[in-house]
């Protein structure tokens, strides 16, 4: 939860004391200073689905509920992206029959995927969805790979779900459909078919968790502290003194496709 004050905060501790966060179920957390007038409260764990959260700052207050938990688990070794909604495996509506040899095809909630190849491995960790873009331009030169070399690229990617500030996405990759469920060929991102990527884009919310692991038995480690964006609001929040998270700072284009 991010609070933006009208001017610079002279006494950070006083500002933190002025912020009250209550939730059911109760959550513990900590404060972080993002700017001289911006303070965020970060929960120590993901907010449980369907939680009630109340925030008050001085004379301004807000109460809202979190939505359902849409959990995505990318399994690098098995080339899959499994989606559950409130613990129940879910997937897009039935599609046309696919080649019978395609691994995992038809399993509930299991989407064939392709992750980063050996030169550009997808980083293992626990993330949250930071933003969603209907389309985004990915340019390899932003990470030091010239566009005109064999590994270079500059292309428009659809249904892009961003999970790190450095540019890791779950997105549509129509050029990689033959590899999905079979091998990892991307520059690090989690690639889905256009239909699966569109469904996931329309299903997931900002703040939902995404876990990337090596294989079915691997232990997942946290890549970063749980960020403020673990809150997803099912109801509108007042936009006076209390605001949602500020936009991502401008960065070079994302590193992988």
Given 79, 104, 187, 189, the catalytic residue: 189
DSSP classification of residue 186: B
CA angle 44, 229, 210 (to 5 degrees): 80
Instruction: Tell me, yes or no, if 33 is annotated catalytic.
Output: no
Element (H, E) at 16: helix 12-18
Q: How far apart are CA 133 and CA 249, in angstroms?
A: 15
Closest CA to 189 of 221, 222, 244, 143: 143
Given 79, 104, 171, 187, the catalytic residue: 171
Closest CA to 86 of 53, 112, 52, 48: 48
Structure tokens at 94: 């039935």
Q: Which residues are catalytic?
A: 171, 189
């Amino acid at each position: 939860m991010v609070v933006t004050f009208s001017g610079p905060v002279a006494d950070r501790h006083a500002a933190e004391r002025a912020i009250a966060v209550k939730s059911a179920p109760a959550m513990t957390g900590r404060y972080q200073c993002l700017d001289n007038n911006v303070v965020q409260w970060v929960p120590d764990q993901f907010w449980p689905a369907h939680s009630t959260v109340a925030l008050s700052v001085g004379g301004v207050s807000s109460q809202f509920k979190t939505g359902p938990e849409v959990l995505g688990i990318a399994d690098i070794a098995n080339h899959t992206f499994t989606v559950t909604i409130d613990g129940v495996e879910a997937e897009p509506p039935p599609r046309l029959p696919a080649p019978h040899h395609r691994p995992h095809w038809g399993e509930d909630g299991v989407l064939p995927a392709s992750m980063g190849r050996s030169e550009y491995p997808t980083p293992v960790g626990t993330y949250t969805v930071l933003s969603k873009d209907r389309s985004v331009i990915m340019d390899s030169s932003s990470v030091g790979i010239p566009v005109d070399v064999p590994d270079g690229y500059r292309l428009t990617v659809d249904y892009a779900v961003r999970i790190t500030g450095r540019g890791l996405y779950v997105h549509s990759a129509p050029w990689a459909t033959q590899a999905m469920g079979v091998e990892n060929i991307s520059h690090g991102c989690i690639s889905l078919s256009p239909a699966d990527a569109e469904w996931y884009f329309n299903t997931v919310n900002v703040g939902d968790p995404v876990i990337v692991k090596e294989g079915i038995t691997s232990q997942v480690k946290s890549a970063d502290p749980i960020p403020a964006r673990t809150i997803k609001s099912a109801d509108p929040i007042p936009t006076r003194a209390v605001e949602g998270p500020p936009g991502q700072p401008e960065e070079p284009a994302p590193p992988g496709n």
